[in-house]
Amino acid sequence: MPLFPIDFDDRKEVGRTGEKVSAIGLGTWAIRDYSRAEEVLVYAIEHGLDLIDTAEMYDHGRAEELVGRVVRRVGRDKVFITTKMLPEHLVSRDTVLKAARASLKRLGVDAVDLFLIHWPNYTMSISEQVRNFEAVYLEGLARYIGVSNFDRSELEEAIHATRKAEIVVDQVHYSILNRDIEVDLLPYAIEAGITIQAYTPLERGAVAHNKHVRKIAAKIGKTPIQVALNFLISRPRVVAIPKTENMNHLIEIMGALGWRLSPQDLEYLEKNVNPHNPNTRRFKT
């Protein structure tokens, strides 16, 4: 049996909000060709990939401006926008709101769907920075809030720190080649109703060269990229956010939806691709 129950839903709930987004979204980090990226994002949204991830630090705000152009083309109601705030802005409520409004201006929207703390500010307590950050929700600048790059203990502290908002997402590095979160963070997130957004899910293409991933791909008639993404979205509460500027690559990514790896293939990959240490526990429903 696989370590986790198989999630067959191609639309995943955001926290416990009742709202769902596509199990695969698209990121906007390190874009080289903004014109091509815009066309790819528009096509993706028009074909059901409604989750777009960005951040103020991506190319000094240019990525947020790109998302803004995309939103104007497809319509605000067609996109679930996630953006992220640098930890240096978390020192006060005022600095949080100033940074948030700058992001919204670049995005050309009145509010984002989800605002995340990009990573913890290690000069202050988790509870203090989260309470300052909560202002984006209280002021109507974000419908939901969450965190990024928080480990299990930091996430737990953040959850308990909020007053009126709820932490609904933790965006972290997770791929079939990097499964560290399966030991502690992912089981906790599943139990707590937190959505995991997996960034760098393709390890910049490295997943396609793994012999075990390639073996399963050949067996089932899929590409290694599709197998690697499907492995992630088969996990409860996990959404994958790869990045591409290539239309053919986008089509390949979209081909990871609409099916799931079998329990036997999942178990094979778990045992042979970056296997865990012996202390990894099997998740119990």
**Residues designated as active site:** 58
Give the Å distances, CA to CA, from 53 to 7, 10, 224, 242: 22, 18, 23, 10
CA distance between the termini of the chain: 13
| Nearest-angstrom CA–CA distance, 264 and 244 | 30
Q: Residue 175 has what DSSP assignment?
A: B
Close Cβ partners of 208 (under 8 Å, ≥ 6 residues apart): 202, 214, 223, 224, 225, 228
Asked if 175 and 198 count as a contact pair (C-beta separation under 8 A), the reply is: yes
Q: What is the dihedral of CA 152, 157, 159, 165, to 10 degrees?
A: -140
How many Å separate Cα 189 from the centre of its chain?
13
Q: Of 33, 35, 123, whose CA–CA distance to 73 is shortest?
A: 35
* β 20-22/238-241 pair status: unpaired
Angle at 237 between CA 236 and CA 240, to 5 degrees: 105
